[in-house]
Chain A
Amino acid sequence: MAVLAGLAAICGAGNAREAGPHDAVAGVTPKYVAAPGCTEEVAAVLRLAADQALTVVPRGTGTKLAWGAPPRSVDLVLDTTRLARVVEHAAGDLVVVVEAGTRLDTLQETLAAHGQRLALDPPSGGTVGGTVAANAAGPLRLLYGTARDLLIGVTVVRADGVVARAGGKVVKNVAGYDLGKLFTGSYGTLGVITQAVFRLHPLPAARAYVTRTVADAAEASRLVQAVLRSQLVPAALELDLPRPGGPATLVVLLEGAPAGVPARAETLVALLGGDARAGEEAPPWWGRHPFGPDDITLKIAYPIADLEAVMTALAGAGGLEPTLRGSVGTGVLHAGLPGDADPAAVARLLGTLRQALRPWGSAILLQAPPAVAVDRWGDVPALALMRRVKTQFDPAHRLSPGRFVGGI
C-alpha cells in the first residue's frame, strides 16, 4: 500500500506499520503508525501526510493521549519515541538540548549525574514532547513554574513539513516571538515538537518534607495562606484529599542549603501546629495523579485564596466523591472520579465548579468516556484569536483535529 511504503521509505522498514487497536487515540483507531528518527524524517512524514491529506496525531509514550477530546479523525500516529537523544548538556551553562521523544525520567538521570535537574516533575514521567504539549507539571511548579517557564528554545515541524526553531540556547533572549510558549499546552494541534531546550537548576543540597493533617477546607485554606506569607520559601505545597469530607494532608517541601533547611523545617512545624512533623521522605502519593488510567479526570485552576470555595463545591458534588490532589500553593488541583460515574452528575459537578470559579478560574475535563457529553474546556476567552492561530499554522486542520478548545 502506497502510504505505508512511503512512510517506510522515510523512517526505515520496521518503523512504519499499520495501526492496531492499542494505537487508538481516545477511542479513535488510526490507520498507520510511523516512528521517524530525526527532525528531517518528521518533516518528510508530515509532508507525505500533507500530500495524502492524512490527519496526524503525535504520540510520546502515550498515556496522556486520552487527554483532550477524541480526535475527529486520525489516519496517522506519529510516534516520537525514536527521537530520544540528549543532544547537548551544557552543564556549565545550566542548559540542555533534548529530543522530544526522550523520556523525562531518562533525562533526569543524565542530568543528576552532573548534580542538576530539569525542575519539572509531572506525574509518571512521559516524554519531553508530551510533557510540553500537555503542559504537565508536578509539585515543583510552585517555585520553578511549568514547562512554559523552563523551555527556552524549541524546534517544531509544521503541518506543511516546514522545520522552524524559536528561542535558543541562552536563558535570556528576547529576539522574535516566543513560539515555545505557544506550543506549550497546545496538545499536538499546531505542529510536532522535535527538540526542546531547557534551562536547568542545580539539585538542592538538602530537602525536608513537613506534613500536617487538616480537618477541613477552611483550615487547609488558612494554613496555605500562612505558609505563603512566611519567609520559608517552600519549593512545593501540596494537598492530598483521598476521600471528600475526610481528613486531608498538607505537605510542604523545603529545599536549600544543609545549614538552612532543618531550621526552616522547624519553624514551619511550629507555624503549622497541630500534628505537623518534618521528615526526609516524600509521602507515597507525592507527584502522582489522584486517579487511575480509566478514571474520569479533572484539572482545576483557581485563585489561591479560593481553595475553600473550590473544596466546598467539590464536596457537595451530588453523590460523587472526587479524590483531590494538587499544588495548592499555585492553585492547580487534579480530581478523579470512577470511570463509571453517572455522566449527568459529572456534568452537574463541572457546572457547579465553573460557576464557583468565575471569573478567573477554570475546570477542564481532561479525560472522560464519551457518555459524559459536556464541553471539556468551559468558556475560553480569546477563542476567536486561538482559531486564527490554528488556521495559520494548520490551515487544513490535519493535526490532532478537534482535540483542543472550541473544537480546534
Chain B
Amino acid sequence: MADPTASEALSRLAHRFRAALGERAVISDPVELATYSCDGLTHYTATPGLVVLPETTEQVQEVVRGCAELGVPYVARGSGTGLSGGALPRADGVLVVTTRMRRIIEIDIPNQRAVVEPGVINLEVTRAAAPHGFYYAPDPSSQQVCSIGGNVAENSGGAHCLKYGFTVHHVLGLEIVTPDGEVVWLGGKTPDSPGYDLAGVFVGSEGTLGIVTKIVVRLLRAPQVVRTLLAGFRSTDEAGGAVSAIIGAGVVPAAIEMMDALAIEAAEASVHCDYPRGAGAVLIVELDGPSADVAQQFAEVERHCREHGAFEVRVAADDVERAEIWKGRKSAFAAVGRISPDYLVQDGVIPRTALPEVLRDIAELSARSGVRVANVFHAGDGNLHPLVLFDESVPGQGERAEEVSGAILDLCIRHGGSITGEHGVGVDKAKFMPRMFTSEDLDTMQLVRCAFDPAGICNPGKVFPTPRLCGEVPGKRKGVHPLVEAGRAELF
C-alpha cells in the first residue's frame, strides 16, 4: 500500500473493529487477505486492505460508520461468484464479507415470504420452503454457492427468467446500511410501500448504494408439473425458428435454452450428456404449471420443434431424465475447459428476433479472427453467453479473444440490446456503458448514487466509467471537471 495515510486509517479501523466485533471477525494477515483478491472474474485482482466478517446488522453498521468517519472506501462481498468484478476489493479499503450472516430468519408461508440474511445461499431458501410446497424462483446456475445479497446486488437471473422474472421481481423489502451508516428499510413484506421504490433501484445496483443486511423475498407455490424436452436441430437457424414459433403461438415456457455445435462438443467431452448425434444446435424447453394446461402446450411445443426441423425430440419421463437433459447445459461453462485451455464468458442481450442474424455475425467474427466461439444461451429472452476460446500460452491470442468478446457486445448494442443480462457491469464493462447510454443518461443514474453515497466510498470505481462529483450542477458538464483538472478533487 503506497499511501501512508490510507494504511494508517486501515490500522486504526482494524483496531476499532477488533474491539467492537471480536478478534475473529477481522482479517489483516497478508496471506489470508490474498484469498479475497478477486471474485469469479479472476483476471482482475487486488488484495484488500482489511477484511471484516460481521454477523449482525449492528456490526455492519459499526463497520460502515468507521469507514465513513475516516473516508475509507469499502466493498461488500457475498460468495464471490460474481462474473464482472463487482466484489473486486481495494487495497486502500475494507472488504465486508457476509458469509457469517447466514440465518434464514423466517419462512412465512401464510404470507408467502421469507426473510433472510444476505449471506444465505440461494438454494437454501428453496430448501427451507420446499417442505411447505413453496420455492424461491430466481435460480442462477450458481445457485448452490451464490448468496442472496449478491443476487440482490446483481439482480441475478437464471434459466427460468423468461416466465418468472429476475431477482427484482421476487424481492419486496431490504434492510440496508446506507453509506452514512444509517439502518433503513426499503419496502417490506407488502407491495406498493408508500414513497419512491428505492428497493427496486437498489436491486441491481451492484453494491454501490449500500450494504443489504436483511432481505424479504417472495415464495412461490411449486408448480403441479414440470415437463422438459430436448430437441436436436441441424443448425442454430432452425432452432431459432422453433423458438420464434413457440413464442409466436402464445406459449410462455419456463425456460428455452440453446446450445450450438461447439458448446455441445464441450459438454459431451466433459459430462457425456449424449445429446442428439450430429446436432448443429439443441434446444431445451421446459414448461411448468397445472398439468392439463402443460400437457396441451407441451404437445404444441413438440409440434413446432418438428415443423422447424428437429430431427430428434426427447421428452423426459421423470426427474432423473430431466436432470440428464439439463446436465449438458448446466455444465457447459465449466465444460469448455475440456476443449480450450482458456476462455472468456461473455454476457450480452439482443432482441430475440435478432438471434439468427447475430449468431451469423458472431460466426463471421469468429471465422475472420480465428477465435473459436461456443454459444450457450437463454434463447427465450435473447440473453447470449458466448464462450470465447483461446490459449494464453500463444502470444496475442488473449488480446484477440478480448477483441472478439468486445465486438460481440457492440453487436448487442447495435441490435438494440444490452451489454449485460445478468452478470452485471462491475469493473469489467464500465467502459462499455457510454456505448449503450449517453452522458446525460449516465449522469442521471449518478443522481441516485449521489443521493445514497455523496462521499463516494461505497464500492467506488464500479459500474460507471466517469462518476460525477456530487453537489455540482447536473447536466452541464463537458470534458474533465475543472476541480479534477486542477488536482483539487478526485472523482470517486
A223 within 8 A of B: no
Chain B residues in 8 Å Cβ range of A389: 196, 198, 447-448, 451
B85 within 8 A of A: no
Chain B residue with the shortest CB-CB distance to A393: B447
A89 within 8 A of B: no
Q: Decide: A170 and B475 in contact? CB cutoff 8 A.
A: no
Shortest distance in angstroms between B227's beta carbon and chain A's nearest beta carbon? 13
Complex CA distance for A393 and B201, rounded to whole angstroms: 15
Q: Decide: B195 and A383 in contact? CB cutoff 8 A.
A: yes
A303 within 8 A of B: yes
Complex CA distance for A377 and B416, rounded to whole angstroms: 39
Binds B, one of A9-17, A122-130, A208-216, A259-267: A259-267
Q: Decide: B378 and A172 in contact? CB cutoff 8 A.
A: yes
Complex CA distance for A263 and B113, rounded to whole angstroms: 29
Chain B residue with the shortest CB-CB distance to A185: B197
A1 within 8 A of B: no
Known: A92-B352, A303-B190. A158 touches B475 (CB 8 A): yes
A309 within 8 A of B: no
Among A258, A261, A305, which residue has the most Cβ atoms of chain B within 10 A? Answer: A305
Complex CA distance for A384 and B185, rounded to whole angstroms: 12
A194 within 8 A of B: no
Complex CA distance for A169 and B436, rounded to whole angstroms: 12
Chain A residue with the shortest CB-CB distance to B188: A360
Q: Decide: A175 and B381 in contact? CB cutoff 8 A.
A: no
Chain A, 193-223, contact with B by CB distance < 8 Å: what is the 0/1 string? 0000000011111000000000000000000
Question: Which of A93, A176, A182 is in CB contact (< 8 Å) with B200?
Answer: A182
Known: A174-B422, A304-B111. A386 touches B195 (CB 8 A): yes
Among B419, B422, B429, B445, which residue has the most Cβ atoms of chain A within 10 A? Answer: B445
Chain B residue with the shortest CB-CB distance to A361: B190
A53 within 8 A of B: no
Shortest distance in angstroms between B436's beta carbon and chain A's nearest beta carbon? 6
Binds A, one of B14-22, B44-52, B285-293, B395-403: B285-293
Chain A residues in 8 Å Cβ range of B189: 303, 360
Among A92, A171, A305, which residue has the most Cβ atoms of chain B within 10 A? Answer: A171
Binds A, one of B4-12, B165-173, B308-316: B165-173
Question: Which of A184, A231, A382 is in CB contact (< 8 Å) with B186?
Answer: A382
Chain B residues in 8 Å Cβ range of A258: 296
B154 within 8 A of A: yes
B341 within 8 A of A: no
Known: A380-B194, A389-B196. A176 touches B290 (CB 8 A): no
B131 within 8 A of A: no
A233 within 8 A of B: yes
Q: Decide: B192 and A259 in contact? CB cutoff 8 A.
A: no
Q: Decide: A185 and B196 in contact? CB cutoff 8 A.
A: yes
Chain A residues in 8 Å Cβ range of B463: 176
Q: Decide: B161 and A174 in contact? CB cutoff 8 A.
A: no
Q: Decide: B292 and A165 in contact? CB cutoff 8 A.
A: no
Known: A172-B382, A378-B194, A385-B178. A177 touches B443 (CB 8 A): no
Q: Decide: B205 and A177 in contact? CB cutoff 8 A.
A: yes
Chain A residues in 8 Å Cβ range of B448: 177, 179, 182, 389, 392
B244 within 8 A of A: yes
A5 within 8 A of B: no
Among B168, B193, B194, B447, which residue has the most Cβ atoms of chain A within 10 A? Answer: B194
A278 within 8 A of B: no
Question: Could you write out 11 A-B pairs with CB less than 8 Å apart?
Answer: A146-B192, A160-B475, A162-B444, A169-B417, A172-B422, A175-B419, A178-B200, A182-B197, A381-B184, A381-B186, A389-B196
Known A174-B204, A257-B297; 14 more pairs at CB < 8 Å: A92-B247, A93-B353, A148-B200, A164-B441, A178-B201, A202-B252, A230-B221, A233-B289, A301-B191, A305-B111, A360-B188, A382-B198, A385-B184, A392-B474
Tell me the B residues contacting A by CB distance below 8 Å: 108, 110-113, 133, 154-155, 157, 161-162, 165-166, 168-169, 173, 178, 182, 184-186, 188-198, 200-201, 203-205, 221, 223-224, 244, 247-248, 250-252, 289-297, 349-353, 378, 381-383, 416-425, 429, 433, 436-438, 440-445, 447-452, 463, 474-475
Q: Which 5 A-B pairs have the closest CB atoms?
A: A181-B200, A260-B293, A202-B250, A305-B110, A164-B444
Tell me the A residues contacting B by CB distance below 8 Å: 90, 92-95, 115, 135, 141, 145-146, 148-149, 156, 158, 160, 162-166, 168-179, 181-182, 184-186, 190, 201-205, 225, 228-233, 256-261, 263-264, 299, 301-305, 330-332, 359-362, 364, 377-378, 380-386, 388-389, 391-393, 404-406
